Amino acid sequence: MNQIVLIVVLPLLAAFLVPIVARMSETLGAALGPLVMGVCLWITGTVAIESAGNAFAINIGGFLPPLGITFFVDRLALLFAFLTALLVLLLWPFQGEHRPREHALTLILAAASGGLALSGDLFNIYVFYELVSVASFGLVATGNRSAAPAVRYLILSGFGSVLALVGIALVYTQTGTLNLAHLSQLAPTQLINPIGLAAFALILLGVGVKAELFPVNTWVPEVYATAPNRVSALLAGLVSKLAALVILRLLVLVFAQEQALLVMLLLGLLGVITGELAAWRAQDMNRMLAYSSIGQLGMVFVAFSIPGETGVFAGLAIALHHLVVKPALFLLAARWGGALSGLAGAARGSLSGALLFTLFALSLVGVPPLPGFWAKLLLVMGLAEQVGPLYHFALAGILIATVVEANYLFRIVATLFRRDNPASPAPEKHSGSDIATAGIFGAGLIAAVLLLIPLSQSLKTIAQQTSDADAYRAVVTLVPTPTAPNWRPAAISGDTP
Amino acid sequence: MNLPSLDVSLDLILYTGAFGLIVIGAAGIVLARHLFRVILALAIAEAGANLLLVLSGYRWDAIAPILMGSESTAPMVDPVPQAMVLTAIVIGVGVQALAVGLAMQVKKTYGTLDMSAIRQRLEADIAGNAGIATTGSQDAPLGERPLPPVDAVPATPGSSTP
């Protein structure tokens, strides 16, 4: 089962081979990337079947943790590794102008995303996170006039990384280790304190830049409005979910304290409210989708702030639903990206596009048989079970946000099907590949409705396994280090020589 | 450097310095108007974070963590943070190089490196591409207000090209 490491190694290797191969043979260079991602998909599938849902750990290079680097592979990690390969394959940028360069960056993004899903070491997570960042800066900058948003995104993300690094340094001064299993062993005695909370807040803000968390999401509308739509789809669909996954792991394993949950609840709720209201006011499709994505990610964070398995279950359901719906909407926005008022009667030009948009809009709002409804229901029921005014306030906030969401999405659907202005030229038709890919996402959504019961069962198992910190610790074998339990650097404890 | 009586205050100075660098960097990112200065401020903040990481494993009474083959029993400085700082420095250099490259692109596209001018033009650009009016305050005066041409951007002390 060690071959799971290849989902990080192969794309990384291929990323640096693509420009060379493309120089020798253009077709081979263009085929290399999708081929590698296909292999990754196959590897993840076989490992998932082989491991039969049991978690296992891989020690890179044979060095045992906490000294070595661990890859922790459980159902959640495999699910996200699989989705990474699948989404990268579906959203492959084969139409771009600078093809080898885009292919290389996409492969780096895929490798680092796989690493984020698997890594069981805080610093390793930081390195993969930076790799995702750099690849996404490059991909954003491939847009026509997107250098300015890319550089603004880079500065915000760079400062976020600084904050995350400070958080990691605080964790290290407190515990002297960065292995997640080891940290979760030491956390009850050494991290459940104000310094631990500060470290969590810093890492949350740092990683939250990619996860579109409330105060650090100013890059979202401008980047999604100017970047190529397939890149926006990857960032909104995949990268934001992986950042949320990192925060979930840290929350379950290391920072399981009440104040940490409250911080997340507040920031998530602010994200929901601001995101949905801004989306309601937006006048063009791309930015409307960007703001709505901020709102949805806020909902994921609100769900993760519900303690225990319920929260993980609801959060994963919303995240996965958003992961299917938002990339498809961004693909549809490739030709409908302009002003919303210009879309009047667009259904005449492209009926299938309009029908798909309606399907995704209904699911995003949460109309009963569609998966979006069940995900929101889980969240609402989870919040209602909690005691405490803040949780009930969040419940009210989410329901109001849903009304706002319904208002702006249905307004667009109504515009699409309007008949009364034949004067204005209908917008361009979608390109075949865009509509086909969006159709695949739509088919996935319908399949999820039909397979609702088995899907929710397996998602519940994943949530159970993820929220069980004891099981995580049991899987990773730790070598007892002599200094580990009461390790303190001289500077903190003050035991000067 | 082994001055036991000064250790605590020296540590205090170093920790204050590390957090101070981060604060200076944050202030620079928020306050500076020139894009190049913002990138420099980011570099300063990164230096602060790196210093903090080094400090987290440093001991004044220990030697460098290099195994020389001899059976030395002297305590060593924790090597893990130093390895991490090396990684962080390399990442930082890469990101800064990318930032400067993108800044050159911005200069080519918009003809300015002034942050607020870039932002204004970006808004106008996005709105123009989408075919909508620039979103602004409701209290803003009515009517068309074309952006000043590229050359007529008022020169601020920070906006001269480096």
Q: How deeply is B161 buried, as exposed, middle or buried, from its count of CB atoms within 10 A (0-12, 13-18, 19+)?
A: exposed
pLDDT band of residue A494 (cuts 50, 70, 90) is very low
Contact B49 A169 (CB under 8 A): yes
- Whether A202 contacts chain B with CB within 8 A: no
Q: What is the pLDDT along chain B (162 residues), one digit of tens a residue?
A: 444 555 567 888 888 999 999 999 999 999 998 999 999 999 999 999 999 888 887 777 777 777 776 666 777 778 888 888 999 999 999 999 999 999 998 988 888 888 888 888 888 888 877 777 765 555 555 555 555 555 544 544 444 444
Q: Can you give the pLDDT at residue B6?
A: 52
Dist. CA A160–CA A449, nearest whole Å: 38
The answer to whether the Cβ–Cβ distance between A166 and B60 falls below 8 Å is: no
Q: In whole numbers, what is the pLDDT of chain A averaged over residues?
A: 86
pLDDT tens sequence across A114-166: 999 999 888 899 999 999 999 999 999 887 778 889 999 999 999 999 999 99
Q: Could A165 and B56 be called an inter-chain contact, meaning their C-beta atoms sit closer than 8 Å?
A: no
CB contact under 8 A, B38 and A141: no
C-beta atoms of B91 and A283 within 8 A: no
Strand bridging mode A56-59 / A70-73: antiparallel
Question: Does A491 contact B11 at a Cβ distance shorter than 8 Å?
Answer: yes
pLDDT at residue A492, as a whole number:
41
With contact defined as beta carbons under 8 Å apart, do A201 and A171 qualify?
A: no
Contact check, Cβ <8 Å, A130/B91: yes
Distance CA A157, CA B54 (A): 22
Whether A197 contacts A259, CB under 8 Å: yes
Q: pLDDT tens across A354-377, in order?
A: 888 899 999 998 888 888 899 999
Which residues in chain B have their CB less than 8 angstroms from residue A232's CB?
none
Residue of B7, B56, B123 best to disrupt the A interface, most CBs of A under 10 A? B56
Percent of chain A with pLDDT over 90: 35
Give ipTM to 2 decimals.
0.84
Asked if the model's pLDDT at residue A403 lies above 90, the reply is: yes
Q: Inform me whether the C-beta atom of residue A127 falls under 8 Å from chain B C-beta atoms.
A: yes
pLDDT of residue B158: 45
DSSP symbols for A338-372: SBGGGGTTHHHH-HHHHHHHHHHHHHHHT-TTSHH
In Å, how far is A151's CA from the nearest CA of chain B? 6
Q: Which of residues 287-316 of A touch B (CB under 8 A)?
A: 287
Task: Tell me A235's DSSP state.
Answer: I
Nearest to A147 among B94, B109, B126 (CB): B109
B135: left (phi over 0), alpha (psi -120 to 50) or beta: beta
